[in-house]
Amino acid sequence: MKALQITQYGDIDSSLAFQELDVLEPGAGEVLIKIHAAAINPVDLMVMRGDLKAVKKLNLPVGIGRDLSGEVVSVGSGVSKYQIGDAVFARVGEDHVGTVAQCLVVDASHLAKKPENLSHEESASVPLVGLTSYQALIQVAGLKKGEKVLIHAGSGGIGSVAIQLAKAYGAYVITTTSSDNVEWVRKLGADQVIDYKKENYLELLSGIDVVYDTLGNQYTKEAFKVLKQGGRVVSIAGVLDPQSARELGINWLLRKLIRLRSGPILKLAKQKNALYRMVIMQPNGDQLLELAALYQDKILSPVIDKIYPFEQSIAAFSHLNTKRAKGKVVISVGGST
């Protein structure tokens, strides 16, 4: 079978190449998927460039891509939830990365049956961004009906899903975006849209219940300027906090360094009697099934910027790298249903 792989660390043109690989048999608790579509994400580019080598150095060549939608081809021992022919989607675990391929073995616990009303391309656009925002806003922040939530970068892959999810849970949604996307994100459900090219959100906002920090750097610190006393800041781009480090199983020595690095942010949180958590998304088939129901009931809608054919996968990564995509960039690997 054919798969796109990272052959060396570097830029897109020098690092990515198609390879012919053997099709693996699923082991215990695993499922072999015929992939119909894969979505790509900024984290894929970070891994390709070597930005995360300090966390995990790859034994190259390796696959690329973490989102898929496809069809069950065979199941390993101990798998009873899925049968051959089932249409499924997933954000695969880090041990099974490589969704830009014709087939892939994945952990069955990371799968969910795809929404029947979505194509494979639409379904592939959901898992990573959907689970990330679900775990940040619902699981960690505990977003409630009527609360005010600030979501930065509303037109991106994460933001476009987060706006819809927050509205589905009854929140008052505020988002930031550029002038070109103001009306577009308002149609996604945002109650208040701040054009960062013309307005300073710090001068307009206060008393926010939840800040969803998708940008990091100064935005993480600025979150506490608009947050109300006792509010919550959940970040996917800021500094790792000690509790999240402990839950990830990071050793005690690194946790000490993390505590030192996160000190300034934790101090700001203490001054506001606020929660600060860095959310690192974990694959979760049960949560994905909850999201699937929201898409099935048309409470949420997939947001796709562009779909590329499999043979143009490298061009898809180049487009993602422009950082101008409105929604997700998807690769169509096979026929959709």
Residue-level pLDDT at 193:
98
- The per-residue pLDDT for range 231-269, each reduced to its tens digit, is 999 999 988 887 777 777 777 677 777 777 788 999 999
Count of alpha carbons within 13 Å of 127, Cβ hemisphere only? Answer: 33
- The per-residue pLDDT for range 55-69, each reduced to its tens digit, is 678 899 999 999 999
- Residue 22 within any structural domain of the chain: yes
Rg (C-alpha) for the chain, rounded Å, is 20
Count of alpha carbons within 13 Å of 188, Cβ hemisphere only? Answer: 34
Please check the confidence at residue 199 and state whether its pLDDT lies above 50. yes
Domain check: are 307 and 270 in the same one?
no
Count of alpha carbons within 13 Å of 215, Cβ hemisphere only? Answer: 20
Q: How far apart are CA 33 and CA 40, in angstroms?
A: 17
Residue-level pLDDT at 133:
97
Domain check: are 151 and 200 in the same one?
yes
117: closest CA among 91, 138, 89, 90? 89
Domain check: are 164 and 272 in the same one?
yes
Domain check: are 187 and 250 in the same one?
yes
Whole domain around residue 207: which residue ranges?
129-278
Residues contacting 135, CB < 8 A, separation 6+: 279, 281, 282, 284, 287
Q: How far apart are CA 204 and CA 226, in angstroms?
A: 9
Residue-level pLDDT at 154:
94
Tell me the pLDDT of the chain averaged across its residues: 94
In sequence order, which ranges of the chain are alpha helices (DSSP H)? 12-15, 42-49, 120-124, 127-133, 157-168, 182-188, 201-204, 218-226, 242-247, 252-261, 263-271, 285-296, 313-321
- The per-residue pLDDT for range 6-63, each reduced to its tens digit, is 999 999 999 999 999 999 999 999 999 999 999 999 999 999 999 888 667 889 999 9
CB 42 within 8 A of CB 67: no
- Residue 292 within any structural domain of the chain: no
Return the C-alpha torsion angle 331, 334, 336, 337, nearest 10: -150
Domain check: are 199 and 72 in the same one?
no
Q: How far apart are CA 191 and CA 173, in angstroms?
A: 5
Domain check: are 143 and 269 in the same one?
yes
Q: What is the DSSP string of 210-243?
A: EEEESS-THHHHHHHHHEEEEEEEEESSSPPPHH
Domain check: are 41 and 152 in the same one?
no
* SS3 track for 139-164: HHCCCCCCCEEEECCCCCHHHHHHHH
- The per-residue pLDDT for range 286-301, each reduced to its tens digit, is 999 999 999 999 999 9
Residue-level pLDDT at 336:
40
- The per-residue pLDDT for range 72-110, each reduced to its tens digit, is 999 999 999 999 999 999 999 999 999 999 999 999 999
Domain check: are 261 and 169 in the same one?
yes
Residue-level pLDDT at 139:
96
What is the mean predicted confidence (pLDDT) over 269-279?
Answer: 96
Crossing angle of the two packed helices 313-321 and 42-49, in degrees rounded to 10: 100
What is the mean predicted confidence (pLDDT) over 183-202?
Answer: 96
CB 44 within 8 A of CB 67: no
Domain check: are 273 and 192 in the same one?
yes
Domain check: are 58 and 162 in the same one?
no
Give the three-state DSSP class for 337: coil
The CATH number linked to 93 is 3.90.180.10
- Residue 295 within any structural domain of the chain: no
What is the mean predicted confidence (pLDDT) over 129-144?
Answer: 97
pLDDT band at 308 (very low <50, low <70, confident <90, very high): very high
Q: Could you tell me what percent of the chain has a pLDDT over 70?
A: 98
**Integer angstrom CA distances of residue 38 from 68, 100, 144, 179:** 4, 6, 32, 30
- Residue 210 within any structural domain of the chain: yes
List the beta bridge partners of residue 334. Answer: none
- Residue 118 within any structural domain of the chain: yes
Residue-level pLDDT at 337:
36
The CATH number linked to 236 is 3.40.50.720
| Tally of domains in the chain | 2
- Residue 291 within any structural domain of the chain: no
- Residue 322 within any structural domain of the chain: yes
Residue-level pLDDT at 55:
67
Residue-level pLDDT at 246:
72
CB 66 within 8 A of CB 297: no
Domain check: are 188 and 266 in the same one?
yes
Residue-level pLDDT at 57:
81
- Residue 86 within any structural domain of the chain: yes
Domain check: are 112 and 133 in the same one?
no
